């Protein structure tokens, strides 16, 4: 086991308060740069776009994903997916961006709500595979209010995420209030 899953990454999201507001803002700018590289057709893995390059791009992208979730940036999170996304979870399966959109919006609102901090203590990379575990901690009580395990299959910046498998557990609400939904940044 590594001493830190964040070794060599640009930011550490394993616990609260490890990323400054300024660093977080820079990560959001970087996220937009990565989203702009997504191609209409899923690129092939070959000698021009190798597994190693894709893994390096996924490692660069990871901190931007975490910051987008912490800040409720639904616009950036939605942009991380391909239009033909396959998403397996307990409420799914979902195919394409429209099927999962309404349900996932509630999850994003709950995990980015004020007074809760999302953390990712474990993240692992192998080529286009990104596996991680997460939890949301109440800032006052340190109570875990939600947790999950996720696998993204992400073909780097050019391909984005085309498959996601997720197990989520919410200990409080499973649908966000209208007030929390209004806090999400949308497209």
Q: Which residues of the chain have pLDDT under 70?
A: 1-2, 172-176, 184-187
Domains of the chain by range and CATH?
A: 21-183 (3.10.450.50)
Q: Identify the bridge partners of residue 129 per DSSP, sorted by sequence position.
A: 126, 153
Determine what percent of the chain is predicted with pLDDT higher than 70. Answer: 94
CA distances from 148 to 62, 119, 123, 126, 168 (A): 16, 11, 12, 20, 4
Residue 187 is predicted with a pLDDT of 54
For the stretch 8-47, pLDDT in tens is: 999 999 999 999 999 999 999 999 999 999 999 999 999 9
**Pairwise CA distance, residues 149 & 123, whole Å:** 10
């Amino acid at each position: 086991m590594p001493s830190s899953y964040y070794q060599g990454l640009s930011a550490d999201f394993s616990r609260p308060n490890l990323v400054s507001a300024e660093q977080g803002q820079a990560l959001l700018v970087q996220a937009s740069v990565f989203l702009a590289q997504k191609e209409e057709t899923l690129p092939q893995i070959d000698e021009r776009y190798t597994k190693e390059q894709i893994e390096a791009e996924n490692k660069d992208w990871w901190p931007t994903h975490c910051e987008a979730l912490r800040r409720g940036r639904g616009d950036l999170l939605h942009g991380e997916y391909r239009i033909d996304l396959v998403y397996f979870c307990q409420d799914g399966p979902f195919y394409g961006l429209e099927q999962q959109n309404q349900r996932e919006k509630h999850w994003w609102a709950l995990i980015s709500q004020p007074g809760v901090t999302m953390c990712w203590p474990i993240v692992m990379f192998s080529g286009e595979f990104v596996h991680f575990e997460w939890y949301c901690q109440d800032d006052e009580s340190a109570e875990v209010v939600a947790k999950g395990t996720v696998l993204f299959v992400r073909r780097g910046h050019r391909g984005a995420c085309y498959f996601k498998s997720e197990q989520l557990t919410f200990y409080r609400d499973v649908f966000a209030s209208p007030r929390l939904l209004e806090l999400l940044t949308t497209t």
